[in-house]
Amino acid sequence: MTDSESNPAPEQAQSDAPLDTREALIKLIALAKGIDQGQNAGLEAMGMLREEVAAVHGLLAHLIEILTPAQPEDEGPSLRDLITLMIQQQREMARLLKELAAAVGRIETHLGTAVTPPAVQKAQ
């Protein structure tokens, strides 16, 4: 094997570089399109899920309305009102717990007392 066969000429190596770059760019564009399509599909699925949840909520409210007799005002709130209030309270509690967990994490980070995961402690 001669030296010219084992080592390509500098001109040939330079001409292959733009080709490799173009191929990499084409692959990157195809990957980005795939990611974009996946995100669009996820957004559509989320929209359909929201519609389904709203429909189920409406059906549940209608079912409660049918099953519970009309109450006079002096007997207190209806079952529908109580369930709606309970759902609102649960949502608010979940939101407050998320805020609390985030605040605790920020405080621990600020004080430098953040707890390291058990796997990291064993490695030390």
DSSP the chain: --HHHHS--HHHHHHHHHHHHHHHHHHHHHHHHHHHHHHHHHHHHHHHHHHHHHHHHHHHHHHHHHHSPP--GGG---HHHHHHHHHHHHHHHHHHHHHHHHHHHHHHHHHT-PPPPHHHHHH-
Q: Is 78 exposed, middle or buried (0-12, 13-18, 19+ CB in 10 A)?
A: middle
Predicted confidence (pLDDT) per residue in 26-37, tens digit? 998 998 888 888
Residues in Cβ contact with 115 at an 8 Å cutoff, skipping those fewer than 6 apart: 108
What's the structural domain count of the chain? 2
In a domain, 123, yes or no: no
C-beta separation of 88 from 69 below 8 A: no
40 and 62 inside one domain: yes
Domain with 85, as residue range(s), is 75-114
99 and 56 inside one domain: no
In a domain, 4, yes or no: no
Of the ranges 15-19, 86-90, 114-118, which one carries the lowest mean pLDDT score? 114-118
**pLDDT computed for residue 122 by the predictor:** 45
pTM for this prediction: 0.38
52 and 13 inside one domain: yes
In a domain, 81, yes or no: yes
27 and 54 inside one domain: yes
62 and 84 inside one domain: no
